[in-house]
Amino acid sequence: MSNEQTDKEFRVRADAFIHLANEQRKNANNDKVNASLLYASTRFTAFIVASAAEGVEEMKEDREEAVRYFTEKFREMLVENIDDYIGNYADYIQKFRKE
């Protein structure tokens, strides 16, 4: 599978989660939706870490490395997306305010 195809599938999955979060905004404020989305992401990530381990002891040994890795990835993605909003603020926020 090409990187282009992988990137497209990645974006489709991400957009599906964003769409769900935007639907949830109809019944809850942004902070509550964001908190739920963060919790779901961390819960799924914990599952990924657990499912990759042979047992509890291995999971305990890998805990700090997993936390470091996923925290670093979250930070990278957050910085990338904030920079994207800085570069496209007027377009993104204008669209948001029309909703």
The pTM assigned to this predicted structure is: 0.82
pLDDT of residue 44: 98
Query: Contact at 8 Å (CB) between 15 and 6?
Result: no
| Segments of the chain scoring below 50 in pLDDT | none
pLDDT at 20: 97
52 Cβ contact partners less than 8 Å away, ≥ 6 residues apart: 62
**Structure confidence at residue 6 (pLDDT):** 73
Give the domain ranges of the chain.
Answer: 1-52, 54-99
